[in-house]
Amino acid sequence: MEIDILTLFPAMFDGPLTESILKRAQENGLLAVRRHDIRAYTTDKHHSVDHTPYGGGGGMVMMVEPLVKAIEDVRGTDDQAPVVLLTPQGRVFTQKVAQELAQHQRFILVCGRYEGVDERVRQTAITDQISIGDYVLTGGELAAMVIIDAVARLIPGVLGARWAAEEDSHAMGLLEYPHYTRPPIFRGMAVPEVLLAGDHAAVDTWRRREAIRRTWKQRPDMLLTADLSEAERWFLADLAEADAMATD
Ligand code: 4FV
């Protein structure tokens, strides 16, 4: 997979791209990440990339010309690669969107700064807009890093164990079940017996039920779309009933 990043601060990506799983993915040739400095596409002697907004108001706006020139140069003739603007106005990033982006051989991430980008950038060169959440960042770079991380770990071979990404909580539409490892007892708190007994079917059932329990408690909205078995629906009904009793 190839990812091109358009940014005014290429060095911001040093940390995330040069450590751990993302570093190894690039070394193993599973992932190529190229950074492009938007300022390199300016033509005036001050290398201007932003200006005051027409119509007044505070802050600055990213100028259309350097940005569109940068996008068109980086994209070249490849009209398959999505050009994604990171913006609070975008569709909200989820595991499903990560899985969708992971199907592409290449995509381009455009990091805005200041109050945002000139609207004509969207009309000219942007094919998709993604938001990582309903809050305002100083720039799109951190959002780009989040997306690169979530998508890269879905590339076959990037995560050690092939099944790891498939087991993802959000991939299954439920929150993750509780994890335990050594020691078996910590300050009197023991690891659930079922995890030590070696009965894999019982472990799987326990993990599904604990994932449902946790989702019921923390993100009941996710249960509207979760794919539950008949038995799991009865388990959920018992949880709901127990809660109703507890609050009566
Ligand atoms: C953002 C988000 C975000 C808005 C103005 C950059 C900032 C500044 N991007 N998800 N939330 N972007 O806040 O993706 O240009």
> How does pLDDT run across 6-40, given as a tens digit for each residue?
999 999 999 999 999 999 999 999 999 999 999 99
Q: State the Cα–Cα distance between residues 229 and 236, nearest whole angstrom.
A: 10
Q: 157 alpha carbon to ligand 1 midpoint, in Å?
A: 31
Query: Is residue 124 scored above 70 in pLDDT?
Result: yes
Q: State the Cα–Cα distance between residues 175 and 168, nearest whole angstrom.
A: 9
Q: Phi first, then psi: what are they for 5, rounded to 5°?
A: -115, 125
What is the pTM for the complete model shown? Answer: 0.92
Q: Which is higher by pLDDT, 162 or 50?
A: 50
Closest CA to 109 of 244, 227, 247, 1: 1
Top mutation candidate among 67, 87, 109 for ligand 1, by most atoms within 8 Å of CB: 87
Q: Please say whether the beta carbons of 1 and 106 come within 8 A.
A: yes
Which residues are CB-contacts of 12 (< 8 A; sequence separation ≥ 6)? Answer: 141, 142, 145
The fraction of the chain above a pLDDT of 70, given in percent, is 96
Closest CA to 170 of 211, 124, 129, 230: 211
Mean pLDDT (whole number) for 79-107: 97
Say what the pLDDT of residue 54 is: 97
Ligand 1 atom closest to the CA of 143, numbered from 1: 14
Query: Is residue 190 scored above 80 in pLDDT?
Result: yes
Q: Please say whether the beta carbons of 38 and 8 come within 8 A.
A: yes
Structure tokens at 237: 């009904």
Top mutation candidate among 137, 141, 145 for ligand 1, by most atoms within 8 Å of CB: 137
Q: Report, as residue numbers or ranges, the catalytic residues.
A: 88, 115, 153, 168
Amino acid at the residue 186: F
Q: 6 alpha carbon to ligand 1 midpoint, in Å?
A: 14
Q: 112 alpha carbon to ligand 1 midpoint, in Å?
A: 7
Q: State the Cα–Cα distance between residues 9 and 183, nearest whole angstrom.
A: 44
Say what the pLDDT of residue 169 is: 63
Ligand 1 atom closest to the CA of 113, numbered from 1: 15
Residues with CB under 6 A from ligand 1: 86-88, 112-114, 116, 131-133, 135-137, 139-140, 143
Q: State the Cα–Cα distance between residues 125 and 127, nearest whole angstrom.
A: 7
Closest residue CA from atom 9 of ligand 1: 87
Closest residue CA from atom 11 of ligand 1: 88
Model confidence at 171, pLDDT cuts 50, 70, 90, reads low
Q: Which is higher by pLDDT, 3 or 244?
A: 3
